[in-house]
Structure 1
Amino acid sequence: MASGLLALLDDVSALVKVSAASLDDVPAQVSKTTGKVSGIVIDDTAVTPKYVVGLDPSRELSIIYHIAKKSLINKVLLLSPAALLLGIFAPWAITPILMLGGAFLCFEGYEKVHSMFSKHHDTGKEEELNVITPEELEKTRIQSAVRTDMILSAEIVAITYSTVADKPLATQIAVMLAVAIVITIAVYGFVGLIVKADDIGLHMAKEKNHGTVRSIGTGIVRFMPHFLKILSYVGTAAMLWVGAEIIAHGIPFTSHALHNLEHALADVPALAWLAKAVSCAIGGLILGGIIEKIVSLIRKAFKPKAKQSA
């Protein structure tokens, strides 16, 4: 009886040691994963401020909080469990789902680039915005931001799972929760700082402050519109780069090509990263254009049917 109890205690002790060892690996895995999803994080950070610009300044932080809260709920309660279940019952589906998300990012990125260079403006949308109340506009903006964040969050969760797929379940859960919390706080904390930077600058530029402080505040106020524009360009580039890289890694030929490119420039890491990012961004732009043409053809094909049914 005593020997059986000692054997049981030995088993429990061994299990605790294994669990502790696997949990010790969590910080390293979180660091590794956040590096892999950096492009998506940049994209998420660059895209979100546009949903707040133009609304009541007193509501900006509240709106960001609502978006961040829904983002975290989606990551923790919906996307992470879905990724774990797919990993157990249909691991083959993860890569195609990632590639579909990548294709959507390329499509969105192409549309943004096209809108930057297009001379046509959609006046109909502007008129529609003029007839809705500020509360309705705020609700619409939040819903739109959450939809965009949902796609980017799905990519983050899927990439996180792919990084820890061969780890024990406890490590998978711990890493996915940690990544969800860390990235959500980092992204929306930085977005909040960006959105309120002009208010901080205005406060610093008040007459009661020292001349140096006022100069810095005035500089912040003048710089922020340019910074938001640059951030928009960076976000678009990141969207194309990340989307194309996700797709490339799902296709053996292109995955090997990217690896060979990095290997050829391994002596200059910064150049290797830049070459890969530029190659992916160009590829993503081309792919996004092809997808846009296909979507346009499908829309045209279904337009007559819609009119007939009407």
Structure 2
Amino acid sequence: MAGSSLFTLIDDIASVLDDVALMTKVAAKKTAGVLGDDLALNAQQVAGVNADRELPVVWAVAKGSFKNKLILVPAALLIGTFAAWAVIPLLMLGGAYLCFEGFEKLAHKYLHSAASDVAHHAELVDALSDPAVDLLAFEQDKIRGAVRTDFILSAEIIVITLGTVAGEPFIKQFTVLALIAVVMTIGVYGLVAGIVKLDDAGLYLSRKTSSALRALGNLLLSAAPWLMKSLSVIGTAAMFMVGGGILTHGVPAAHHLLEQLAASAGNLPAIGSVLAVLTAPVLNGLAGIVAGAVVLALVTGANRAYRALKGPSA
């Protein structure tokens, strides 16, 4: 009897782990858009830090990220247990924020002047070259800013994951949320550390006597800025697709319409199989762009109205 109970327990654990693995995979796929943007944002956060301080800064932000998730995971579990009705609204809010953030990136050059970007870059250069500037304080300020950014992105990841495991037993919710929190943090900041040191690796290799190593070093030096740009573009596109997908999924009529369009596209001869795969992500991306434009317009209008009410002294 004890033996059969043990085997039953092992079977139950294996079943739970199988379910957890599946849900973790689904949650990781859904949070891919945030992950791409997270990589680009955090790699940019250490811009302006002395080369020998880049990895300590990344590690400090990673520790802050773990602390953020120690707050967010229990909060998500409390919501899932005692206020499950709030999961869908939170998902919709997170999806709308993703679309807003993505569209704000697209509209950046229209909302922010080139002079402000040049001034920001000059501030970073001055902070590094001026001996009167407290570099420790400058570094700590960048770390705090990166941790605040991480809190927003981590909240999006946790909320999306919570939506994936909503309705599941508590132990499955806890395991999936904890796995996503740990894996995403290690993955993001491990890759960020690699990205910010890519140019250093290229410089090191470019000084070697071997022509093959020098060629590889020069390739890495050339690839580093393109990698950052690619991460930003891919992350923004994924934000629209993930955010738009969350919003359309939360509106049953829109979700069913997209399913019907994808099924119809799949029935077309020759290219049907390709269109069946691409239709839903493309339409979700377009929905995300429209939603982002609407939210940005509302936010911009609210900010202008607030400044108008505050008057010239604001």
TM-score of the two chains, using structure 1 as the length reference = 0.84
Count of aligned pairs: 302
Q: Which residue of 2 aligns with 1:251?
A: 251
Q: Pick closer, same or farther for the CA change 1:24–1:233 going to 2, 3 Å.
A: closer
Q: Which residue of 2 aligns with 1:39?
A: 33
1:105 and 1:239 in contact (8 A); partners too: yes
Q: Pick closer, same or farther for the CA change 1:298–1:162 going to 2, 3 Å.
A: closer
By how many angstroms is 1:72 displaced? Answer: 2.4
Whole-angstrom CA distance in 2 between matches of 1:133 and 1:102: 39
Aligned ranges for residues 9-24 of structure 1 at < 5 Å? 18-19=12-13, 21-24=15-18
Q: Which residue of 1 aligns with 2:61?
A: 67
Q: Deviations over 1:9-41 (max 9, x none)?
A: 998986675345323432233223222222222
Which one-letter code corresponds to 2:160 in the other structure?
I
Aligned ranges for residues 193-204 of structure 1 at < 5 Å? 193-204=194-205
2:49 and 2:139 in contact (8 A); partners too: yes
Whole-angstrom CA distance in 2 between matches of 1:202 and 1:20: 48
By how many angstroms is 1:277 displaced? Answer: 2.9
Q: Which residue of 2 aligns with 1:294?
A: 298
Q: Which residue of 1 aligns with 2:179?
A: 178
Over the aligned positions, Cα root-mean-square deviation in angstroms equals 2.9
By how many angstroms is 1:204 displaced? Answer: 0.9
Q: Deviations over 1:74-103 (max 9, x none)?
A: 22x222211211112111111111111221
Q: Which residue of 1 aligns with 2:79?
A: 86
Q: Deviations over 1:109-130 (max 9, x none)?
A: 1121112466822539637665
Whole-angstrom CA distance in 1 between matches of 2:111 and 2:45: 21
Which one-letter code corresponds to 1:135 in the other structure?
L
Whole-angstrom CA distance in 2 between matches of 1:134 and 1:236: 32
Q: Which residue of 2 aligns with 1:97?
A: 90
Q: Which residue of 1 aligns with 2:152?
A: 151
Whole-angstrom CA distance in 2 between matches of 1:227 and 1:128: 24
By how many angstroms is 1:265 displaced? Answer: 4.3
Q: Which residue of 2 aligns with 1:191?
A: 192
Q: Deviations over 1:131-186 (max 9, x none)?
A: 76433333333233222322222222222222223333222212221121112111
Tell me, what secondary structure is at the counterpart of 2:114?
coil
By how many angstroms is 1:275 displaced? Answer: 3.2
Whole-angstrom CA distance in 1 between matches of 2:55 and 2:275: 38
Which one-letter code corresponds to 1:254 in the other structure?
A
Where does structure 1 lack aligned partners over 5 or more consecutive residues? 1-5
Aligned ranges for residues 150-169 of structure 1 at < 5 Å? 150-169=151-170
Q: Which residue of 1 aligns with 2:218?
A: 218
Aligned ranges for residues 229-268 of structure 1 at < 5 Å? 229-266=229-266
Whole-angstrom CA distance in 1 between matches of 2:143 and 2:276: 38
TM-score of the two chains, using structure 2 as the length reference = 0.83
By how many angstroms is 1:273 displaced? Answer: 4.3
Q: 1:107 aligns with which of 100, 104, 129?
A: 100
Whole-angstrom CA distance in 1 between matches of 2:247 and 2:187: 26
Q: Which moved more, 1:181-190 or 1:266-275?
A: 266-275
Where does structure 2 lack aligned partners over 5 or more consecutive residues? 128-132
